[in-house]
Amino acid sequence: MPVYTDPGNFLALSASFPVLDVRSPGEFEQGHIPGAFNLPLFNNEERAAIGTLYVQSGKDLAVKQGMELVGRKFGRFIEEVGLLVPGKEMLLHCWRGGMRSESLAWFFEKLGYKVILLEGGYKSYRRYIRPQFSKPVNILLVGGMTGSGKTELLNNLKELGQQTIDLEAMAHHKGSSFGHLGQEPQPTTEQFENDLFHAWNSIKVENALWLEHESKQIGKIFLPDPFYTSMLNGILLKINLPVGIRIQRLVKEYACFDKSILEEVLLHLKQNMGTLHCKLAMEALSRDDYEAVAALTLEYYDKTYENALHNRPVREIHPIYLESTDMNENAAHVLDFAMNKNFLQ
């Protein structure tokens, strides 16, 4: 008989054994445990058809139809599991820990595999991870106006041995209206939460965790409420970089994109920037004056950032004034500042 275990132990075991998710591809794409393999018992169409049959004709007929569909796939299951589970021991789950996972667990055990099931299925995993974001962690936030190089600073702090999570890389978005440019499609908010928990669950709570100071929303993704609350309870190191350097950084980052794409973003910002500022930015773009475009958009983004700080105040804010274009040098300065303030303890 398969062994059932709780989400915490299931995740601990996933470091040693492969995880098989037997839900449909659509369910898996919506959200899954990071690192899990999808071995669907039913495809999207089959799952929908069986669900309809269950509602219209009852459980018995739906189960019968399901077993007929599954019976044709046993050969494929044997082949795929042979590749995915070379060590003969696996973790397996479906949505609620019901018939899908139990039926495949029975089948695989007959083939000599040891199967450990997630009690309550993926649904219990989702219930488990959200409260975990409330665990006490010493959070240091890298903040500042648009163009301050916050992401690069965060990456350099990681190279200096600090513990970091890059939320924007995880979200495939840089936060602003231009933030989707050059990025892969964003995951679902559900999958982002799963990926974030995977990173959060591996941090050492005795060490400080560095994050970029983000708003509640990154592109179309929303940060989990408990995580966002923990973030606002952190210490914000607010980077102040000369506007000229910020303009240079933005030009380097975004002038490479096609003008039509940049125009589309500027028009999207028209209501917030103001008609005149948007018109001036569009005219500057038409004559390849990317510095003027950056300066005009910064007027809007700087006000937006200050308003966000006022409306969603962080527990503690410390300004840091930097003058260098060398982000390695700036990261070292930020780290020295934090050490001198005893923020790393």
d(CA 200, CA 181): 27
d(CA 125, CA 95): 10
Out of 36, 91, 92, 94, the active site residue is 94
d(CA 58, CA 63): 9
Query: Biggest alpha carbon distance in the chain?
Result: 72
d(CA 38, CA 64): 23
Q: How far is CA 235 from CA 188, 251, 329, in A?
A: 29, 30, 21
Is 320 within 8 Å of 240 (Cβ atoms)?
A: yes
Cα angle at 124 between 120 and 125, to 5 degrees?
Answer: 125
Q: Which two tokens stand for residue 295?
A: 């300066």
User: Residue for token digits 């930015």?
Assistant: 281
Q: Amino acid letter at 119?
A: E
Which residues in the chain belong to E strands, given as ranges?
3-5, 19-21, 37-38, 89-93, 114-118, 139-144, 163-164, 209-212, 217-218, 221-222, 235-240, 316-321
Task: Tell me whether residue 94 is one of the annotated catalytic residues.
Answer: yes
250 burial via Cβ count (<10 Å: 0-12, 13-18, 19+): buried
Which residues are designated catalytic?
94
